[in-house]
């Protein structure tokens, strides 16, 4: 399968053919139709939403920083006590690093995350009067906040479709669907925003993430259960 071989070359786990000795039927080339992908995934995952628990932009920003190299479920275990102890940017800005490291240790990379959290909070206090900014440039100027994190905040805390969040699931699913041939998140995002209307961008990443977790999983995608199987160029069914 051309698509799978190319994906393997670029580091995307390929869709492996079943070991039945039979030819795989229905192999398609090219890419899936974006509007059809969106509509079908929306029907499949009607409750798709940000999995990080939060009640405001500050909490979502903290949770998103903690989610690097960590599952959302683990972050959601840690954040209630963290938010109780440091309820806003002003409190977090003067946090004792040792205490913060202890609270977030189980999320991994806790020393660098502690530096990012305190640096971010200080930036919010000093430059934005304790309010999380709602602009891409202002967000990405904060320590520990990249474009992906900023897109999470803008889309889910402020309802702004400034871009598409590209994580490992979005990378894998969009490559398998032929919607991009890139591995660099910024290039993948550019490919996706060209193909989907702006008001779909935030939900699109939730749909791809849900699909990547439930069906289009990394090692053995469940193509036989996939609602996109008949339009996906990487489908094995």
Asked if 15 interacts with ligand SF4 (CB under 6 A), we say yes
Using the rule CB under 6 A, give the single segment among 85-93, 112-120, 184-192, 221-229 that binds ligand SF4.
221-229
167 catalytic residue (yes or no) = yes
Residue 180 touching ligand SF4 (CB under 6 A): no
Shortest distance, CB of residue 30 to ligand SF4, whole angstroms? 13
Which of residues 7 and 133 has its CB atom nearest to ligand SF4 in the complex? 7
3-state class (DSSP) for residue 74: helix
**Residue 217 Cβ, how far from ligand SF4 at the closest point, in Å?**
8
Sign, Cα dihedral of 106, 112, 115, 117: negative
CB of 224 to ligand SF4, least distance (A): 9
The full DSSP string for 192-233 is HHHHS-GGGHHHHHHHHHHHHHHTS-SSS--GGG-TTTTT-T
Count, residues near ligand SF4 per rule CB under 6 A: 14
231 token code pair: 């339009």
Judged by CB under 6 A, does residue 170 bind ligand SF4?
no
Give the H/E segment covering residue 169: helix 168-176
Residue 207 near ligand SF4 by CB under 6 A: no
Q: Can you tell me which of 117, 150, 177, 179 binds ligand SF4, judged by CB under 6 A? A: 177
* Active site annotation includes 148: yes
- Residue 200's closest CA among 41, 85, 84? 41
Alpha-carbon distances of 12 from 3, 19, 119, rounded to whole Å: 10, 20, 34
**Is residue 228 close enough to count as binding ligand SF4 by CB under 6 A?**
yes
Judged by DSSP in three states, 186 sits in: helix
Q: Smallest gap, in angstroms, from Cβ of residue 47 to ligand SF4?
A: 19
Q: How far is the CB of 7 from ligand SF4 (least distance, A)?
A: 10
175 makes contact with ligand SF4 (CB under 6 A): no
> Who's near 71: CB < 8 A, 6+ residues apart?
none
**Token pair of 141, please?**
């100027």
Would you count residue 122 as binding ligand SF4 (CB under 6 A)?
no
The residue from 72, 88, 167, 191 that is catalytic is 167
DSSP of 120-143: HHHHHHHHHTTSPP-SHHHHHTST
145 interacts with ligand SF4 by CB under 6 A: no
Binding stretches for ligand SF4 (CB under 6 A): 15, 176-177, 215-216, 221-223, 226, 228-229, 232, 234-235
Residues with a catalytic annotation lie at 148, 167
């Amino acid at each position: 399968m051309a698509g799978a071989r190319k994906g393997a070359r670029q580091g995307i786990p390929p869709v492996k053919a079943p070991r039945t000795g039979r030819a795989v039927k229905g192999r398609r080339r090219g890419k899936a139709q974006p509007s059809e992908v969106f509509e079908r995934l929306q029907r499949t995952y009607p409750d798709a939403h940000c999995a990080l628990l939060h009640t405001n932009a500050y909490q979502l920003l903290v949770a998103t920083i903690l989610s690097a190299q960590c599952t959302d479920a683990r972050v959601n275990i840690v954040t209630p006590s963290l938010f109780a102890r440091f309820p806003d940017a002003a409190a977090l800005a003067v946090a004792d690093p040792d205490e913060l490291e202890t609270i977030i240790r189980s999320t991994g990379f806790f020393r660098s995350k502690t530096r990012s959290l305190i640096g971010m909070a200080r930036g919010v206090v000093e430059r934005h009067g304790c309010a999380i900014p709602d602009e891409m440039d202002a967000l990405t100027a904060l320590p520990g906040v990249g474009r992906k994190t900023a897109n999470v905040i803008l889309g889910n805390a402020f309802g702004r479709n400034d871009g598409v969040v590209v994580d490992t699931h979005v990378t894998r699913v969009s490559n398998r669907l032929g919607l991009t041939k890139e591995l660099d998140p910024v290039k993948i995002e550019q490919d996706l925003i060209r193909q989907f209307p702006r008001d779909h961008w935030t939900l699109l990443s939730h749909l791809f993430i849900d699909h990547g977790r439930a069906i289009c999983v990394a090692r053995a995608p469940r193509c036989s259960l996939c609602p996109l199987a008949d339009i996906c160029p990487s489908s094995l069914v």
